[in-house]
Amino acid sequence: MSTGWWIDAAPSPPLSLPPGWLPSRPNGGWAYRDRIPAARAGLGVVAFYAGRYGHSSAEAWERRLAAGEISRNGVPLRADAVLVGGDRLVWQRPPWPEPAVPAQWGVIHDDGDLLVIDKPSGLPVLPSGGFLEHTVLRLLERRHGDDPAGVPRPVHRLGRFTSGLLVCARRPATRAWLSAQLRESTGSLTSGASGGVGGGVGGEVAPCRKLYRALLVPGRLALAAGDSLVITTPIGRRTHPPLGEIWCAAEAGDPAALAAHSQLTLLESGGEADLVEVAILTGRPHQIRIHCAAIGAPLWGDPLYLPGGRARPGGLPGEGGYRLQARWLRLHYPEGSVLELEAPAAEGLGTTAECPAAQDHTDRCSGGPKG
């Protein structure tokens, strides 16, 4: 497992924390492993790492090499060396303090295999960006290590500061079909705020429906309350300091860009922020943040994405300040039953007086499957 990009995060100050928070504490370090492709043969160790992980300078890699943190083919290195195709490099990163995080969540659904939790804002899902132990995955492993049914593992990601419905599963087969559903949905994007989410193209029911609530910078949408806008801006990788590359609105003509499809509905205009509902047909990285920024209405308080969908230089995906909640989810089981779930309303993102699907489903928020 890779921890992805990392940034050395400063530890949280030793202040009193709210109940249910994990305090800042050092982890056990981590081994980052790379195998040298033939195309990179002839590079020095420092040059390889500085090019592979552009968020650290060549000088930083020289210090790590001199400290004996890097090995090649199992042999610790103290000086630079020329690499050969097939060489195996390991950087043994020393322990570092992880920031304090909220570590409690509500359970929305648990049938012994499928587990859906209400993830709190501020808690990372998987190791990345300076977090290793203070993540949903590690907490699940510790809390369910003795579960005879297995450890529930996240099927998808939510951003660290995105709250709401996070789908996990214990069985590998369940994770496989859930992952496929959450990655690509089909059917129409009729918004719940505009008349229900049950319909699809030609009456087809979408196998998976995902609805989010968000606060946007006010006054940027040329919409009346209840009106919707479809956003299809492709999402791709662009150069970015200090990470090297980052997901943004794709450059025109980018052959590697990912198609992305969202539907935004304005629920309420406000002087401080606009409340919107967003249905997503695709599950691209940071899709809602990028799509809202792409139409000139970034999430209120988003420190990363600028109007137009580009990333702010120096901004990081794991920085908070925005308000985004995975609010409502519908899944179709392989045998044909349907599960519809809703998270409790996050502060400032509306109420749960009614769920956003068809009103004839009197038991639709019960948390159980319907045939």
Cα 31 from Cα 42, distance rounded (Å): 24
Specify burial of residue 354 (Cβ count, 10 A radius: 0-12, 13-18, 19+).
exposed
Pick from 93, 101, 142, 99: nearest CA to 119: 101
Residue 218 has pLDDT above 50, yes or no: yes
Residue-level pLDDT at 170 = 97
Average pLDDT over residues 319-348: 93
Helix, strand, or coil here: 50? helix
According to the model, what pLDDT value does residue 8 have? 54
Token pair 């996050």 in the structure block, residue = 346
Compute the average pLDDT of residues 68-77: 97
User: What residues form DSSP beta bridges with 266?
Assistant: 276
d(C-alpha 284, C-alpha 279), whole Å = 13
How confident is the model at residue 350, as a pLDDT?
79
pLDDT tens digits, one per residue of 119-146: 999 999 999 888 999 999 999 999 999 9
* More confident: 185 or 334: 334
φ and ψ at 175, to 5 degrees?
-60, -35
Reported as a pLDDT band with limits 50, 70 and 90, residue 75 is: very high
**3-state helix vs strand vs coil in the chain, percent to 5:** 15, 30, 55
pLDDT of residue 206: 57
Question: Helix or strand or coil: residue 202?
Answer: helix
Q: In the predicted model, is pLDDT for residue 163 greater than 90?
A: yes
Q: Which of 2-16, 140-154, 297-311 has the lowest average pLDDT?
A: 2-16
Interatomic CA distance for residues 328 and 143, integer angstroms: 26
Place of tokens 């610790």: 76
Backbone dihedral angles phi then psi of residue 47, each to the nearest 5 degrees? -65, -40
On whether the CB atoms of residues 54 and 243 are closer than 8 A, the answer is yes
How far apart are the C-alpha atoms of 142 and 22, rounded to whole Å?
Answer: 14
Helical ranges in the chain per DSSP H = 45-52, 58-66, 136-143, 172-183, 287-294
Q: How many other CB atoms are there within 10 angstroms of residue 95's CB atom?
A: 12
Q: What percent of the chain has pLDDT over 90?
A: 72
322 Cβ contact list (under 8 Å, min separation 6):
161, 214, 215, 289, 299, 300, 301, 302, 303
Alpha-carbon span 109 to 116, nearest angstrom: 5
Lowest mean pLDDT among 8-12, 60-64, 94-98: 8-12
Which structure tokens are listed for 178?
């859930």
Neighbours of 67 (CB within 10 A): 12
| 8 A C-beta contact, residue 288 and residue 177 | no
Coil, strand or helix at 352: coil
pLDDT reported for residue 314? 86
* Count, residues in the chain: 371
Q: Is the pLDDT of residue 201 over 90?
A: no
Confidence band for 14, pLDDT divided at 50, 70 and 90: low
DSSP secondary structure string for all residues of 254-298: -TTPBP--EEEEEEE--SS-EEEEEEESB--TTHHHHHHHHTT-P
- Indicate whether 184 pLDDT > 80: no
pLDDT in tens, 283-299: 899 999 999 999 999 99
Q: Is the pTM of this model over 0.75?
A: yes
Q: Which domains does the chain have, with CATH numbers?
A: 30-94 (3.10.290.10), 192-324 (no CATH)
The residue with greater pLDDT, 298 or 204, is: 298
